[in-house]
Chains A and B, each alone.
Chain A
Amino acid sequence: MSKRLFFAIPTLIIISFALFAILDLAPNDPTSDLPITIPPEVRQEIRESLGLDKPFHVRYFKWMEQFFINEPLNLIEGVTGLQIGDSESRLRVTSWSSYRPVVDLIIERLPQTLWVVGLSYVVGIMIALPIGVISAFKQYSMFDQIGTFISMVGFSIPTFFTGLVMIIVFSVWLGWLPSTYDTTHVVKDFPSFWVQVKQMIMPVLVLAFYNAAQLSRFMRASVLENLNLDYVRTARAKGLRDRAILLKHVLRNSLLPVVTMIALGVPTIFTGAIITEQIFRVNGIGQLLIAGINSADIPLVQSLSFLFAVLIVTFNLLADIIYGFLDPRIKYE
């Protein structure tokens, strides 16, 4: 286990370098959004004030220092209230377009991303698992056929299409639901809670539908595989009822790979749903990333993508650990 942990560190460092190099090669420019009346000399000064005239390695090491030393120190200070060294003059990773520390921007945007994308993940799982189990158990039945059809539809129609269709139907035609998510809305009583629910319904459902489609197929395959195994025949021979076999034995065994899948998917909650956030103006992490890419906000894009890499590596490790824990047959040397 410790060996795996040890390998994660160089992996992450290589990822951070690769990200930085790729972003550096990208030809987009942070001054390109300025009004065209601003002359090129002024644009050049703005580029210089961002440090863009410094050589590649200087900028990379500066980012490393800010990201791996300054930001963690800052977080520790924030949590504990202690002051470590000269925290006033410690440079933080700062977004070029808003001049705000990237970490603050992320913290500001986590709530809406977790609410919407997180909830859709949960809803997706709750829809997918029963559908997957029933479809497998009643393979080729009407339920299975319909389930297969719907999940194929969900799987192959992109969220920007389903999202738009929902907006046209529920916001434009019926006028029941808002097409815009208000991130400043505060829930404090029942009516305001209802407003929150209304603004979450569409983005959550669009994403849940998409997530459920994938997961239910996976669940179905896993249950089907187990249903053909020897222990199921033994259980049948023993005279157990179908219900008991399915819920007591098959479900537990077939959940094993699905749990791993779910754990591996958790980072996508934090990375946000770029397109869905954009359509419903949820303005979470995904939208932050897109805005950063569009405005060539390199520190922001670099830090965000690197954080995603950290999450993915971490949840891969976690999935391994959970798997070993659930299935005693598996041991990591």
Chain B
Amino acid sequence: MRRVPAIVLLALPTLFLASCSQESTSEAPVDAEVTETTQDRNLKILYWQAPSKLNPYQSSGTKDIEASSIVVEPLAHYDVDANMVPILAAEIPTSENGGVAEDHRSITWKLKKDVLWSDSTPLTAADVVFTWEYCTAEGGGCAALNAFEYVEQVVALDDHTVRVEFIKPTPFPYGPFVGSASPIIQREQFKDCLGMRANQCVEENSFPVGTGPYMVDEFRAQDTAQFRANPLYREQGKPYFQTVLLKGGGDAAAAARTVLQTGEFDYAWNLQVEPEILENMRNAGKGEILTGFGSQVERIMVNQTNPDPKLDAEQRSINIDGTNPHPILSDIRVRRALTLAIDREILVEVGYGITGQPTCNVIPLPEKYVSSNNDECLTQNLEEANRLLDEAGWVLGSDDVRVKDGIRLSLLYQTSTNPVRQGAQSLIKGWWKEIGVETELKNIDGSVFFGTDAASPFTLYKFYSDVQMYTNSFEGNDPSNYVEAWKCDKAPGPHNAWLGTNISRGCSEELDALLDTLSETFDADERVEIIKQINDTVVQNVYEIPLIHRARVSARANDLKGVVMNGWDSELWSIADWYRE
């Protein structure tokens, strides 16, 4: 008898846990339909960054926008070649078909007739108008606000026609409602979620009613989303899967493994992994790596202002009045030497493989915008780089670092923490060393570097270093807004709470003049020419050093067909056409 207590002691924690687990199972939702589906009618997608909500207007990252695109749809998507394809719109409005007004101040969209929301109510122009109201409501923190920046109002002309009016002539009127970041949401569902209430609408943000091929069944923030086929989807016989499971968690390499090696998932997103690791996994033969080239260019920003830590907050990395230029990098010969010393082929080989291509342009695609005037940078030229530095008066010192007027040619080079970027940093440091440039490397966690906290000294906007590297791109297929970023007066500083977009702070009259001409030009061909010239000016002035044209990279299982990888829109844009062989 006296032995009992010891046994009880051993059993105690077991009992305790057993009771906990029992409680927890009773809480798990029971959904017979989902578990009974056969394996091949269920599509399994892995987004290692799991969506936190399914409303792209409240998005906290690309993951949310992509996951929502299964459910809610825009008027038009961009296809693989960056052309617009109508989705909820009957056709793409152009000047030819009268959809775009002659004064470029409005665009009229015609909706497809007979499109139903998944709750069987019809999609009308009122939903489109409401979507604009929703995103522009005060205090809503809408992530697609820039798409509506110049929109004066959106009016419904009839049930299936809607006109977007702009406050000024807008050469590219396709900003609002095109692409996965600004889809149409249902007025009926979101009408009480305007402004400050937007982020309290938990139910609505997790279970949006949509017009897309699938609808949300179950949503667990940052873990799993379950979708099932929308029986009211407008295309007969689609989608082909009964259910879609979108699972999150882990990291990119592990995500690649689940498709390419273990075959547990059909599709895995965003696999920026060292090329040899990815190649090894692919050799297992279970899946294929997909790449989609868009407008992403990995580049080095060259600071045109003095980031000296000895300067105070009102002066550091600020040169609005022209009295505080960068002591080394304001000389174009030095900047040209830096770009010539880089061997982009090797950067691609080591860090990107099939997911990158060397580039000398800041606008790498669409084809019509691509300039061929800068291709000399594709071949590394150390002699020319050395010659330029000699010419600029930088003399090699005894420690192999160049010196001029007592200043050492020494640069601080920062980027975000990421193994591929750190690899590129050390390669570039090596090449710069060969031309007598000393480089100090620094990396900052992405959640800090890409932030906008004006109090933080580590953001890319503050640019408290000599050069910094990251990937920039533009939304949609038109770089008009993107090139605007290079205006002199858009340099970040205390006057605009460090919210400027001209990160390198490069400023030239030539560039400003080109940008002014662009804003007054409406002829499509002329605009292309001007944008090409802007690209050339930025690159030839070496305000930015383009390195690699980057692709999005994902993987699919061999038996998953119909996937069309897209670098311009959500990767899941064509999910209605996906099927298993």
Contact = CB atoms under 8 A, between A and B. Distances in A.
Nearest to B55: A99
Contact of B449 (A32, A38, A39, A188): A32
Could you say which of A172, A185, A188, A279 has the most chain B C-beta atoms within 10 Å of its C-beta?
A172
Interface stretch (A46-54, A70-78, A229-237): A46-54
B30 interface: yes
Interface stretch (A6-14, A109-117, A137-145): A109-117
B445 interface: yes
A328 interface: no
B422 interface: no
Interface string B13-35: 11001001100110111111011
B30 A188 contact: yes
Interface in A226-277: 247-248, 251-252, 255, 259, 262, 266, 269, 277
Nearest to B456: A27
Interface string B424-453: 000000000000000000000111111111
B143 A42 contact: yes
Contacts of B24: 110-111, 114-115
A183 B224 contact: yes
A122 interface: yes
Could you say which of B29, B222, B258, B470 has the most chain A C-beta atoms within 10 Å of its C-beta?
B222
Contacts of A151: none
Given A183-B223, A295-B61, A283 B248 contact: yes
Nearest to A37: B475
Contacts of B14: 122, 125-126
Contact of B452 (A40, A179, A248, A266): A40
A252 B5 contact: yes
Interface stretch (A60-68, A79-87, A286-294, A306-314): A286-294
B65 interface: yes
Contact of A34 (B10, B59, B453, B471): B59
B494 interface: no
B221 interface: yes
Interface string B475-509: 10000001000000000100001111100000000
B35 A179 contact: no
Given A28-B447, A179-B257, A99 B205 contact: yes
A83 B265 CA distance: 45
Interface in B126-150: 139-143, 145-146
A171 interface: yes
Interface in A75-127: 94-101, 105, 107-111, 114-115, 118-119, 121-122, 125-126
Contact of B2 (A40, A119, A180, A248): A248
Interface string A168-192: 0001100100111011111110001
B512 interface: no
A48 B141 contact: yes
A43 B59 CA distance: 11
B247 A182 contact: yes
A153 B500 CA distance: 54
Could you say which of B218, B247, B250 has the most chain A C-beta atoms within 10 Å of its C-beta?
B250
A291 B49 CA distance: 9
B27 to A, nearest CB: 6
B493 to A, nearest CB: 12
A47 B470 CA distance: 22
A33 B35 contact: no
Given A40-B461, A119-B21, A31 B264 contact: no
B472 interface: yes
Contacts of B52: 95, 97-99, 295
Contacts of A50: 141, 199
B447 A35 contact: no
Given A111-B27, A186-B28, A29 B13 contact: no
A184 B139 CA distance: 35
B301 to A, nearest CB: 13
A121 B12 CA distance: 12
Contact of B35 (A108, A110, A188): A188
B279 to A, nearest CB: 16
Contacts of A38: 143, 146
Contacts of A156: none
A295 B145 contact: no
A115 to B, nearest CB: 6
B155 interface: no
A291 B470 CA distance: 22
A203 to B, nearest CB: 12
Contact of A187 (B25, B139, B446): B25
B497 A94 contact: no
A172 B262 contact: yes
Contacts of B261: 171-172
B20 A114 contact: yes
Nearest to B218: A184
Contacts of A110: 24
A333 interface: no
A277 B449 CA distance: 27
A99 B53 CA distance: 8
B319 interface: no
Contacts of A266: 13
Contacts of B473: 36-37
Interface in B223-270: 223-224, 226, 245, 247-251, 254, 257-258, 261-262, 264-265
Contacts of B262: 167, 171-172, 175, 178-179
B458 interface: yes
B206 interface: yes
A180 B48 CA distance: 11
B226 A294 contact: no
Contacts of B141: 45-46, 48-50
A133 to B, nearest CB: 11
Contact of A27 (B13, B46, B61, B453): B453
Contacts of B407: none
Contacts of B456: 27, 29
Contacts of A122: 13-14, 17
A44 B65 contact: no
B143 A34 contact: yes
A240 to B, nearest CB: 13
B200 to A, nearest CB: 7
Contact of B65 (A32, A35, A167, A247): A35
Contacts of A36: 450, 470-473
A296 interface: yes
A48 to B, nearest CB: 7
B62 interface: yes
A45 B145 contact: yes
Contacts of A107: 27
A121 B201 CA distance: 38
17 contacts: A31-B451, A32-B451, A33-B63, A35-B475, A38-B146, A42-B142, A45-B145, A100-B202, A100-B221, A105-B221, A125-B14, A184-B245, A186-B29, A248-B3, A283-B220, A283-B248, A295-B60
Interface of B: 2-3, 5-6, 9-10, 13-14, 17, 20-21, 24-25, 27-32, 34-35, 46, 49-50, 52-53, 58-63, 65, 139-143, 145-146, 181, 196, 198-202, 205-206, 218, 220-224, 226, 245, 247-251, 254, 257-258, 261-262, 264-265, 284, 445-453, 456, 458-459, 461, 470-475, 482, 492, 497-501
The 6 closest A-B pairs by CB, nearest first: A29-B451, A49-B141, A281-B249, A111-B24, A98-B221, A33-B61
Given A32-B451, A33-B63, 13 more contacts: A27-B453, A33-B60, A42-B145, A42-B146, A43-B499, A44-B452, A49-B140, A94-B200, A99-B205, A167-B262, A178-B262, A182-B245, A283-B222
